[in-house]
Chain A
Amino acid sequence: MMFSKLLIAACLATVTLFSSSVLASPVDTYVFKDKVTEIRFNALNKELRCPKCQNQNLADSNSPIAADLRREVYDMLQQGKADMEIVDFMVSRYGEFVLYRPRVSSLTYLLWYGPAGLLFIGVIVVVIILRRKPVKNAQKPLSNDQKNKLDQILKHK
């Protein structure tokens, strides 16, 4: 009983979550000359961050600045600009910050290669530990002291 109630609650939560996110996304009525341009438009809007509402991309955001930037992206696409030119345009005005996928530069080496580096270090550590020869205690003969102790314990039994 308890379980089914939980299940219903979870379903409701999921439904409200998704429906609200659909309702919240802004609706623009742009007309594209072809399907490819439309796909590029949507891809660019997902890659570019809204400068005002920092955890949303342009496609997600309702803020006026995001609407202006979407129009800017649309205009540039209509003018036949390449994706790189549009991204450069945004970066030269809003800084590297607008990119959700930062470029590889000396500033972002740590970001891009850090995880791979850490993994590499981890592999080396594991290899070193595995290759270290286990101390073979079992094959060592007992010292006289140890022998006496053992004898005493056995006698007591």
Chain B
Amino acid sequence: MGKLIRLIPLILFIALGAILFRGLSLNPTELPSALIGKKFPEFSLHSVLNAERTVTTADFKSGIKLVNVWGTWCPSCRYEHEYLNELSQTNRFTIYGLNYDDQRVDAAKWLTELGNPYQFSAFDEEGKLSVNLGVYAAPETFVVDHSNIIRKRYAGPLTPQVWQNEFEPLIAQIEAEFLASSTSKGSQ
């Protein structure tokens, strides 16, 4: 018994060491989003390419949506842009842009020169929608499902590998859920 008590500090030390060692390999920028499972916030902003046009959540198409936060000041956005162009070829989902803290002229030039993967890009000059979305940097990509519920938030540039690991399974899952709910409605 006495010997066991003497071992307690050593055991505590090892346990603490294990916890702290695990902390070393965690990524502190990977924050859980507070908005998963909530409705996409309402917004009313002007489009980047057409200052006259106001875009709102009503302008979202009915299927799965990716909302990509970008800015011309953000090197990682430039890096992922070509892959976004590639992704926009699919008809499984539609991509929308949220242009954050940017200059309209620069943003429009970027879209005309580099290609436009977005159905529209909302021009969020004051960061109102970005704050409502809990955005803290760019690029960030949100997955929004058929009923406008936010299903995922990803911070960082999209690459084929990230897509395969993080997005593809979720997109497939949402498609399956939608199929199941629409067939059950159909049979009623």
Contact = CB atoms under 8 A, between A and B. Distances in A.
Contact of A95 (B28, B34, B132, B133): B34
B31 A68 contact: no
A64 B136 CA distance: 9
Contacts of A92: 34
B52 to A, nearest CB: 25
Interface in A43-82: 51-52, 54, 64-65, 68-69, 71-72
Nearest to B137: A52
A69 B34 CA distance: 16
B28 A54 contact: yes
A100 B32 CA distance: 17
| Interface size classification for chain B | 10 to 19
Given A51-B136, A65-B137, A68-B101, A93 B34 contact: yes
A24 interface: no
| Interface size classification for chain A | 10 to 19
Main secondary structure of the interface of A (DSSP, over half): helix
Main secondary structure of the interface of B (DSSP, over half): loop
B136 to A, nearest CB: 4
Contacts of A54: 28-29
Nearest to B32: A95
A97 interface: yes
Interface in B33-65: 33-35
Of listed B29, B33, B34, B135, residue having the most chain A CB within 10 A: B34
Interface of B: 28-29, 31-35, 101, 126-127, 130-137
Give me the 3 closest cross-chain CB pairs, A-B, nearest first: A51-B136, A68-B127, A93-B134
Interface of A: 51-52, 54, 64-65, 68-69, 71-72, 91-95, 97
